[in-house]
Structure 1
Amino acid sequence: METTDLKNFLSLIEGSSSPFLHRKKFESGNDFNISELVHVQVHADHPGKMFCKDTFNGDSEVLDLNRISRRSVIFPEEIPLIRVGPKPISDKKYEDLQKLMQWVPKMYDNFYQNLPQTGNNVIDG
């Protein structure tokens, strides 16, 4: 994946002009808990709706994320990127990676030697 593949989907639910809302209940009134789902489906003919199951049997529940508004909601033509370039790593992590270079094939040397660094020694996760 490239950094241009990573999009900031929060822009679709944040702000009063966003096209979607972060909902916590299905249309049936049951609580929506993403960690319990075993099946999620979206359909092109039902934009803004997710069809979810928390078991492998039975019918799907519908989560409607569409904003109900008197104003017309405009869906953005492009979803913004999370970041423009690669995420920098700490100096300490960079030093640790350089120590491991003896076990990395030589063809990857350029990549690991040119990693961007934050300039601090806190190891980031």
Structure 2
Amino acid sequence: MLNDQMISGRTKASAIQEAAQNLVSVGVVAAQDLEGTNLDHKEAYTKVHGLGAVTWEYFCMLLGTPGVKADTWIVAAVSRALGRQVSPQEARQIVIGAAEALETNPTELDHALWTYERSRTVEDVVDVS
């Protein structure tokens, strides 16, 4: 339930409502209409204050498009694996490449990394910066 949860100084519900209106304006009226690689669709979503590329990626993933949501947990997992800090963009590309090499869906690898990273104890966490 969204209730009064905030994102970038506004309620998440208001951001989602604006994104939905924007998507309808570019012809997206059902989940199957959304194309993750369609720049008009992406712009309709990401031009909403508080919604950016990472949430766009996750939104598409939730609708069945393979992808990687390079959030804090994914960046941390990749940074730890490489022994250096990586950007969200680099982490995303590395996970996609690893998924290809492993012949698996990048979304499945994303979820596995995220779940593992979230399950680690404080003693396990190593700062690579």
Question: TM-score per shorter chain, which class?
Answer: under 0.3
**TM-score, length-normalised on structure 2?**
0.21
Greater relative contact order (CA < 8 Å, ≥ 6 in sequence):
1
Structure number having the greater strand percentage: 1
**TM-score, length-normalised on structure 1?**
0.21
Structure number having the greater helix percentage: 2
